[in-house]
Chain A
Amino acid sequence: MNSTFIPQEFHYRLHWRARTARPGGHPTRTAGGAADFRGYVPFMQNPNPRHIDLRASLRSVPHQLMVRSYHERGAIAVVAIVDLSASMHFAGASEKRELAADIAASIAWSATRGGDAFGLIACDDSLRGDLFEPLSSRRGVAAEVRDKLMQSTPLAKGANALPLAASQLRAKRSLVFLISDFHLEESLITQTITSLAAHDVVPLVLWDSAEYEDLPKWGWARVSDMETGGERSLFLRPRLTEQIKSAYAERRARIVTLCKQAGARTPFFIQDKFNAELLTRHLLEAH
């Protein structure tokens, strides 16, 4: 387990205005600053002589002195919620837990670089207090978070505490990255995202190519479910591998539908390797 931390920075953009007093890079509802034009207001509402607009003053009826008002730019809280159920310990083309740790660290890195606070909540069947990272803007938080996740020991099978993660968040709208493989029951997915309705949720779906794409071509294999312990016999052959692929394509579409229905952003699917550039593109494009 190589724990050298190579930070990958991605950029994110909000399509909502944050309520924050902390200076930062995101649009807020707070009046002030000189970046986001908000509108014209009477001088007495914003008595800043540097923003007096003569044209707006002349346009006003009855005439009064108008000034340009702006929205402040502020910092937000960025939280990574990590699913640590047994299935997240799958190792195929890559180790899912390592991938999750990398992504969490990358989020922490990107957030703190942008002046935002970062916090980590890990869940299995209970909230993992030992892995909890309160909101902070410390510089070293990314590496710390990565080490924490890499050194965590699996304690439970499921991910039933995911809906409880919302209780660990502050009431103000935050940007929440939900890192999971989404091999969960549909009701749990919906419940989790619904519980985070106050926040801007970006589901990050971790899938491994060994799960459904790079399957052995021929042969008989028995697989056991990492969470439920159930068994399945698979006589792999081209027809079955096609079926598995199409089942995963369906599952993918289903996850997208569920997330969007529950009010989250379009999920971002990560296979084997985390590419921050692609995530940036996804976050800047999709809503």
Chain B
Amino acid sequence: MNHFLQNAGFELPGWLLLLPLALLPLLLRGHAEFPYPAIANLPMDTLSLWLERAWRACGALAIAAIVMGLSSPFWGEQTIERIGRGAHIMIVLDRSASMNDDFANQPADGSASKMAAARRVLQDFVSKSREDLLGMVIFSTSPILVAPLGGDREAVLAALSATEAGGMGFTAVARGLAMALDYYENKPVTGARAVLLVSDGAAHLDSKTQDTLRVMFKKQGASLYWIYLRSAGGASLKDKPEEGQEDAYPEYALHQYFASLGVNYKAYEAENPQAVALAMADIAQLKNLPVRYQEAASRHDLSGFFYLLACLCSCALLALHLTEIRQWKVPA
């Protein structure tokens, strides 16, 4: 009951000032009466007594219910615990010029750019993940929003197709991630959040950007999966660079930074299209962790109920009115 009251309220409480009007039927004596010489001679009749009381109560209730109805009461806005099944995935795709290059290990049956491999695998992934919400951001020199987080797969697929045009510019990883994380803002956590970073290189992040990203990841509680498409001759994430050479290997620094974020992080180092496919399969497994979350159930408008009550009371009043005797004297 307490819980019920906590969640109840009025949209237009000003109307409640009219509530004292409900006392009118209880106090007023304006109804038709027949003069009678001596009511003391009349027997006390319980049914009649209660009928009179019911009549007054119905009148009061009808007015009260109309006033309540006008003040638009609601009940609800309660939170319901749900278990989310799908994931919310923001795909952050690198479209820098280097993505047009081949993988480190050249496949035997011709050339496949990293972008093409990534596109194929991502298209496959997007088509299969029915339960998920997907969004996509591509970045090169600056990030571009392709599709906000939602169920619109067509937009994502179309964006992936559009990457055939070829990449250009540099690698602004931080701004791409920040934009992706922005789309989690003010969204209910109904599933695991995952940022899927697909890139072939990295950029150096200054400490301010690092802090900002760290805060954003913490706040949104998103996991990070990095599919690192290693270029031919690119450095591996596992190999620690030599002392004093760290600046030459921004990938390694980024990897270290991501690992220090404190969120779920996993890096996949893909050197060929098969490795990318394997990484995606792995991610598809990981992202489906069930998530408990609180969802606000939409509140119920109770004014309809009060109007119904008023209507019923009015019907009862009408019925009583119809039974009223118009003429006391029976015409001879």
Contacts and interface: CB of A to CB of B under 8 A. Distances in A.
Interface of A: 87-88, 90, 92-93, 96, 181, 183, 208, 210-212, 214-216, 218-228, 230-236, 240, 243-244, 247-248, 251
B42 A222 contact: no
A220 B323 contact: yes
Contact of A216 (B40, B47, B51, B330): B330
Contact of A251 (B41, B51, B325): B41
* Chain B interface residue number, banded: 20 to 34
B32 interface: yes
A261 B218 CA distance: 103
A231 B65 CA distance: 28
Contacts of B329: 92-93, 210, 214
Nearest to A184: B38
Given A235-B51, A244-B43, A181 B37 contact: yes
A233 B49 contact: yes
A224 B35 CA distance: 5
Contacts, number: 110
Nearest to B49: A233
17 contacts: A90-B36, A210-B328, A216-B327, A216-B328, A219-B323, A220-B325, A221-B34, A222-B34, A223-B35, A226-B37, A231-B33, A232-B48, A233-B48, A233-B52, A234-B42, A235-B48, A248-B41
Contacts of A225: 36-40
A236 B37 contact: no
Contact of B38 (A183, A215, A231): A183
Nearest to A231: B33
Contacts of A88: 37
Nearest to A85: B37
B324 interface: yes
A195 B317 CA distance: 51
B328 A221 contact: yes
B248 to A, nearest CB: 100
Query: Which 5 residue pairs of A and B lie closest in terms of their CB atoms, listed nearest first?
Result: A183-B38, A233-B52, A87-B37, A219-B325, A223-B36
B43 A222 contact: no
Contacts of A235: 45, 47-48, 51, 323
A244 B44 CA distance: 10
Contacts of A226: 35-38
B35 A232 contact: no
Contacts of A231: 29, 33, 39
A232 B37 contact: no
Given A211-B36, A218-B323, A220-B325, 16 more contacts: A87-B38, A88-B37, A210-B328, A221-B34, A221-B325, A224-B34, A226-B38, A227-B37, A232-B39, A233-B55, A234-B45, A234-B48, A235-B51, A240-B45, A244-B41, A244-B43
